């Protein structure tokens, strides 16, 4: 026996001992199709990130109720070793909790104590960060027959032994050398592991792939947009879709990536996929978006057996607003017009709440759940939105302040459906966005591909205009009646980008907030019953499980995601936060305490005082918007996840500037070398713009201090 094998055997023996002491099943993660079909028969477990194949995120546990939730306290916490956004929902199987954290790391913990059993780091290379639009996040694992599956940021699908955390197999899901990344949780269904990817802002062609759960063998791949016609189409559905595109769309990929969770109806044998925008969004119609651009911005049903197309419903034809239709696809049976209907529901990014028959794809109803100005409504007969002509900024050439904006009325944060109240709980938001066509747009290799003039629409520094923009930002929990299509109650937060939802049979709804609170509401009327100060913004969704008779509520805390990366000063509206990444678990009479923490004191070091070349700075603003702003923030104000470049020591240090920006000294943290994308003159122009912004901000801070 070699040393590695010996160590593995010893480790397995230690784990076995741990399991028997903890009363945990000796056969971990023994999840089967049968168990996943009947999650209602084992409410103590939470077997998939969405709780069940229908992604309802409802727990039938009711030890914690509206009457006693005031006694809820911290039972245990586990510090995660990354400081980026935490978007995963843990899975709990027979006393073991499996989760992921940023950079696609996986943890297995004893669910009753938070004690680490094993962890797995896929060692994602830092260079990948430039191809990720919306933070280095991961939304969780799939668990199936003794294995734990994770899709990594760099496009691998890895099967881990649930006992040891050691890889059993690993496949590369990427195609054609494109920068696909994965952030969604894989789905285990019908003996297959199914995974999509992200990258619709980076010129990729979307697809979903099924792998054999046991061997990792690729079984089928469903493309969400047609490819190069000269190579022939993969199937009739794609040949049909190709008639809705113009120009040479395939050169830029087409987009429509399936980056979020996938739902499944085992009786119908159908998978439900939500697809992203057509790519690049906003470009002129002649280049590809004159037609509907199928199957982008759509809900698509696909047969799990062979990956063949079943039906689609496009929420946003000719999407130029980044209205991905990738939000939670919740399956439920609703009583509509006196008849039980098996439906799929989505609170789409475009602001409409859709109810579809999930066997046929028939649109049953659609109503806006947040203010909408891009369309007047949805015509139920044709199923098409009645688009406001002013919204087509790509045709008018004028600014259109869209509601919703590109962040959506609802983004990836999962919603929850309670069969007990019949309500859907939506993490809703209002984030208007000024859309303006970038007439000079050309796709770039490193950076975000959107034909939007981000430099021109940057947050104005005039105090009045800034205040008006901030006033337009809202975030709330909306309790929505999906049959009547109306809001029943609402809970307001300081701003947008709050956490995902959990509802329970204790007549409770749980949600974390961007401002760092975790709250419990009465599910039927929205009365706030309990709160906890989490010391960091929460964007993930809580979940619930039991070990023995004891019910727990768990959430991943850790501020992040696209909002604090991109939105700059606007993100402060939600509550100025730092990232403290933790798994927090609560139980009745829990008495654990977080270590004390406070926000770091604001310091604004003086920037270089030499006058800035105004022409260089204005060129730099354009390059900044294209290459830097999607992480370092609009108008060079960091939302707290990455360094604020106005404070950077590199502004006044030639050697340091070159080593980081040109040569990639900080690549392991995700800051790549830009020498292949930007000339040294362009890099200098960016630096001039940064110094200009630092000087402006310093002057404002200095003036207000006096
Ligand atoms: Ca998108």
At 290, the pLDDT band (50, 70, 90 cuts) reads low
Strand order across the beta sheet in which 187-189 lies: 187-189, 192-195, 207-212, 218-223
Close Cβ partners of 204 (under 8 Å, ≥ 6 residues apart): 178, 179, 180, 197, 253, 255, 257, 279
**Would you place residue 285 in the very low, low, confident or very high pLDDT band (cuts 50, 70, 90)?**
low
Residue 439 CA to ligand 1 center (angstroms) comes to: 20
- Kindly report, residue by residue over 77-120, the tens digit of the pLDDT: 999 999 999 999 999 999 999 999 999 999 999 999 999 999 99
- Helix (H/G/I), strand (E/B), else coil: 18: helix
pLDDT class of 253 with cuts at 50, 70, 90: confident
Query: Model pTM?
Result: 0.93
Q: pLDDT category, 702, cuts 50, 70, 90?
A: confident
Q: What is the average pLDDT value for the chain, to the nearest integer? A: 93
Token output for 500:
């995902």
Count of C-beta atoms within a 10 Å radius of residue 4: 8
Ligand 1 center to residue 277 CA distance, Å?
A: 5
- Domain-wise residue ranges, the chain: 19-588, 614-705
The residue-averaged pLDDT of 660-675 equals: 92
* pLDDT for position 12: 55
- Confidence grade of residue 220 (pLDDT, cut at 50, 70, 90): very high
Q: Averaged over 243-266, what is the pLDDT?
A: 93
| Residues 333, 341 contacting (CB under 8 angstroms) | yes
Cα–Cα distance, 143 to 122 (Å, whole number)? 17
What pLDDT, on the 0 to 100 scale, is given for residue 96? 98
The β-bridge relationship of strands 501-504 and 58-59 is parallel
Residue 316 binned pLDDT confidence (cut-offs 50, 70, 90): very high
Q: What is the dihedral of CA 447, 452, 458, 460, to 10 degrees?
A: 170
**Residue 408 CA, ligand 1 centroid: distance in Å:** 10
Sign of CA dihedral 676, 629, 259, 667: positive
C-alpha 171 – ligand 1 centre gap (Å): 25
Separation of 94 CA from ligand 1 center, angstroms?
Answer: 37
Q: Which CATH class is domain 19-588?
A: mainly beta
Neighbours of 22 (CB within 10 A): 17
Cα 349 to ligand 1 centroid, rounded to whole Å = 10
CA 225 → CA 47, 197, 200, 386, 687, distances in Å? 32, 14, 11, 24, 39
Q: What percent of the chain has pLDDT over 90?
A: 80
How does pLDDT run across 322-351, given as a tens digit for each residue? 999 999 999 999 999 999 999 999 999 999
Q: If you measure from the C-alpha of residue 193 to the centroid of ligand 1, how many angstroms do you get, rounded to a whole number?
A: 24
Contacts of residue 681, defined as CB under 8 A and 6 or more positions apart, other chains included, come to none
Distance CA 413, CA 496 (A): 11
Predicted local confidence at residue 1, as pLDDT: 45
DSSP secondary structure string for all residues of 529-583: EEEEE-SS---SPPEEEEETTEEEEEEEE---SHHHHHSGGGGGGG-------EE
- Looking at per-residue pLDDT, the higher value among 13 and 360 belongs to 360
Could you give the CA distance from residue 541 to residue 84 in angstroms, rounded to a whole number? Answer: 16
Q: How far is the CA of 544 from the centre of ligand 1 (A)?
A: 30
Cα 668 to ligand 1 centroid, rounded to whole Å: 26
CA of 706 to the centre of ligand 1 (A): 43
Rounded mean pLDDT, 357-380:
98
- Is residue 329 within 8 A of residue 288, CB to CB? The reply is no
Backbone angles phi, psi at 543, to 5 degrees: -145, 170
Instruction: Please give the residue that has the higher pLDDT: either 287 or 643.
Output: 643
Q: How many C-beta atoms surround the C-beta of residue 12 within 10 A?
A: 14
Active-site residue list? 322
- CA dihedral (355, 358, 362, 366) in degrees, to 10, reads 10
End-to-end CA distance of the chain: give it in Å, rounded. Answer: 72
Per residue in 432-449, pLDDT tens?
999 999 888 887 777 778
Token readout for 29 is: 């993660």
**pLDDT band of 455, cuts 50, 70, 90:** confident
In whole angstroms, give the CA distance from residue 135 to residue 82. 12
Q: How far is the CA of 280 from the centre of ligand 1 (A)?
A: 9
- Residue showing tokens 């063949």: 308
Q: For 576-629, how does the pLDDT look when each residue is reduced to its tens digit (9 = 90+)? A: 888 999 999 999 999 999 999 877 666 788 999 989 999 999 999 999 998 999
CA of 695 to the centre of ligand 1 (A): 34
- In the predicted model, what is the mean pLDDT of residues 422-435? 97
**Which of 230-239, 446-455, 549-558 is predicted with the least confidence, judged by mean pLDDT?**
446-455
Handedness of CA 481, 484, 488, 492 (dihedral sign): positive
Q: For residue 200, report the distance from its CA to the centre of ligand 1, in Å.
A: 6
Least confident of 398-402, 563-567, 700-704: 700-704
Q: Which of 424, 436, 429, 384 is nearest to 408 (CA)?
A: 429
Q: What pLDDT is recorded for position 516? A: 95
Question: Using CA atoms, how far apart are residues 36 and 42, in angstroms rounded to an integer?
Answer: 10
Q: What is the predicted pLDDT for the residue at 246?
A: 86
Cα–Cα distance, 185 to 690 (Å, whole number):
37
DSSP state of 10: H
Q: How far is the centre of ligand 1, averaged over its atoms, from the C-alpha of 497 (Å)?
A: 16
- The pLDDT of 369-378, averaged and rounded, is 98
Q: What is the pLDDT of residues 6-55, one digit of tens each?
A: 665 566 555 555 555 554 557 899 999 999 999 999 999 999 999 999 99
Beta bridge partners of 556: 583
Task: Give me ligand 1 centre to Cα 473, in Å.
Answer: 20
Give the model's pLDDT for residue 448.
78
The alpha carbon of 236 and the centre of ligand 1 are apart by a number of angstroms equal to 26
| 323 CA to centre of ligand 1 in angstroms | 7
- Ligand 1 center to residue 433 CA distance, Å? 14
The superfamily in CATH containing domain 614-705 is: Cytochrome c-like domain (1.10.760.10)
Distance 252 CA to ligand 1 centre (A): 14
How many whole angstroms from 201 Cα to the centroid of ligand 1?
A: 6
- Measure the CA–CA gap between 607 and 647, rounded to whole angstroms: 7
Summarised one tens digit per residue, pLDDT across range 494-546 is: 999 999 999 999 999 999 999 999 999 999 999 999 999 999 999 999 999 99
Residue 142 Ramachandran class (φ > 0 left, ψ -120 to 50 alpha, else beta): beta
Residue 519 and residue 510 in contact, taking contact as beta carbons nearer than 8 Å: yes
With b for 16 or more beta-carbon neighbours within 10 A and e for fewer, the 145-181 pattern comes to ebbbbbbbbbbbbbbbbbbbbeebbebebbeeeebbb
């Amino acid at each position: 026996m070699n040393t590695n094998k010996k160590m593995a055997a010893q480790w397995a023996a230690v784990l076995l001992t741990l399991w028997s002491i903890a009363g945990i099943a000796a056969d971990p993660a023994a999840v089967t199709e049968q168990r996943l079909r009947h999650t209602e028969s084992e409410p103590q477990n939470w077997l998939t990130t969405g709780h069940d194949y229908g992604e309802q995120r409802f727990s039938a546990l009711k030890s914690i109720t509206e009457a006693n939730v005031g006694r809820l306290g911290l039972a245990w916490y586990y510090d995660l070793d990354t400081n980026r956004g935490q978007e995963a929902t843990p899975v709990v199987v027979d006393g073991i909790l499996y989760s992921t954290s940023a950079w696609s790391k996986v943890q297995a913990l004893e669910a009753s104590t938070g004690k680490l059993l094993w962890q797995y780091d896929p060692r994602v290379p830092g260079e990948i960060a430039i191809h990720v639009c919306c933070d280095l996040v991961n939304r969780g694992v799939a668990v199936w027959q003794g294995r734990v599956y994770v899709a990594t940021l760099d496009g691998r699908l890895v099967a881990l032994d649930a006992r040891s955390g050691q890889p059993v197999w690993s496949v590369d899901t990427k195609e054609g050398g494109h920068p696909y990344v994965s952030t969604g949780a894989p789905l285990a269904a019908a003996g297959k592991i199914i995974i999509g990817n992200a990258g619709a802002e980076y010129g990729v062609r979307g697809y979903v792939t099924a792998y054999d759960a046991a061997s990792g063998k690729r079984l089928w791949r469903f493309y969400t947009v047609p490819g190069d016609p000269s190579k022939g189409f993969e199937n009739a559905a794609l040949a049909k879709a190709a008639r809705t595109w113009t120009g040479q769309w395939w050169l830029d990929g087409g987009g429509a990536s399936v980056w979020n969770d996938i739902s499944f109806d085992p009786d119908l044998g159908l998978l439900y996929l939500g697809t992203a925008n057509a790519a690049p969004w906003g470009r002129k119609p002649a280049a590809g978006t004159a037609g509907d651009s199928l199957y982008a911005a759509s809900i698509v049903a696909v047969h799990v057996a062979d990956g063949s197309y079943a039906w689609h419903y496009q929420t946003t034809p000719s999407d130029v607003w980044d209205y991905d239709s990738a939000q939670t696809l919740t399956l439920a049976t609703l009583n509509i017009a006196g008849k039980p209907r098996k439906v799929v529901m989505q609170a789409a990014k475009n602001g409409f709440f859709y109810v579809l028959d999930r066997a046929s794809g028939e649109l049953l109803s659609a109503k806006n759940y947040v203010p909408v100005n891009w369309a007047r409504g949805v015509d139920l007969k044709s199923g098409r939105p009645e688009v406001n002509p002013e919204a087509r900024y790509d045709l008018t050439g004028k600014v259109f302040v869209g509601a919703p904006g590109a962040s959506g009325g609802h983004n990836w944060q999962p919603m929850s459906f309670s069969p007990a109240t019949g309500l859907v709980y939506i993490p809703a938001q209002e984030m208007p966005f000024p859309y303006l066509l970038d007439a000079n747009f050309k796709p770039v290799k490193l950076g975000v591909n959107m034909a939007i003039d981000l430099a021109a629409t940057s947050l104005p520094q005039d105090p009045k205009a800034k205040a008006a923009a901030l006033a337009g930002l809202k975030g709330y929990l909306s309790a929505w009646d999906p049959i009547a299509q109306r809001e029943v109650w609402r809970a307001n937060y300081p701003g947008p980008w709050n956490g995902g939802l959990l509802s329970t049979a204790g007549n409770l709804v749980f949600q974390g907030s961007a401002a760092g609170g975790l709250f419990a509401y009465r599910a039927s009327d929205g009365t706030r019953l309990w709160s906890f100060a989490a010391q960091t913004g929460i964007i993930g969704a809580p979940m619930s499980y039991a070990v023995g008779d004891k019910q727990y509520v768990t959430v991943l805390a850790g501020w992040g995601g696209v909002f604090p990366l991109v939105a700059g000063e606007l993100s402060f509206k939600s509550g100025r936060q730092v990232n403290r990444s933790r798994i927090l678990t609560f139980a009745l009479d829990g008495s654990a305490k977080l270590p004390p923490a406070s926000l770091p004191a604001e310091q604004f070091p003086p920037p270089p005082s030499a006058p800035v070349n105004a022409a260089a700075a204005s060129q730099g603003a354009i390059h900044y918007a294209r290459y830097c702003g999607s992480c370092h923030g609009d108008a060079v104000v960091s939302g707290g996840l990455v360094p604020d470049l106005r404070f950077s020591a590199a502004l006044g240090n030639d050697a340091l500037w070159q080593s980081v920006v040109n040569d990639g000294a900080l690549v392991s943290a995700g800051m790549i070398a830009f020498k292949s994308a930007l000339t040294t003159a362009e890099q200098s122009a960016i630096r001039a713009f940064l110094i200009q912004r630092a000087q402006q901000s310093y002057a404002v801070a200095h003036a207000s201090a006096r």
